[in-house]
Amino acid sequence: GKITFIEHDQTKHVAEFKTGSSVMQIAVDNLIPGIDGDCGGECACGTCHVIVSDDWFRKTGTPGGEEEQMLSMTPERESTSRLGCQVVITDEMDGMTVHLPEFQM
């Protein structure tokens, strides 16, 4: 499947994914600028913040407790923000678009 990352300056990157990877892992594997994933997906760094497009947000589920706590400290948080490492891709998310914040934590 494919997922599109849109940088803060509107630069688009289309990345191929295999289901079962996280949005953060896909970004790192495809060298998408703007997602660092410093903690390796442990929900502990907040450098994998993505803002999911409204239409797709429901499909990504809801942030868990630790993720919610990390998001609450994220400066550019929006109502459809997620931590990329906590969003595991399913076939349902083929074609999803996520936006990147201007800065990561």
Q: Which spans of this chain sit near ligand FES (rule: CB under 6 A)?
A: 24, 37-39, 41-48, 83, 85
CB of 25 to ligand FES, least distance (A): 9
**Buried-state track 66-100, b at ≥16 Cβ within 10 A, e below 16:** ebeebbeebeeeeebbbbbbbbebeeebeebbbbb
CB-closest chain residue to ligand FES? 85
CB of 85 to ligand FES, least distance (A): 3
Which residues on adjacent β-strands are paired with residue 50? 82
Radius of gyration (C-alpha) of the chain in whole angstroms: 12
Question: Using CA atoms, how far apart are residues 22 and 30, in angstroms rounded to an integer?
Answer: 12
Nearer to ligand FES by Cβ, of 24 and 51: the residue is 24
CB of 70 to ligand FES, least distance (A): 6
Nearer to ligand FES by Cβ, of 22 and 97: the residue is 22
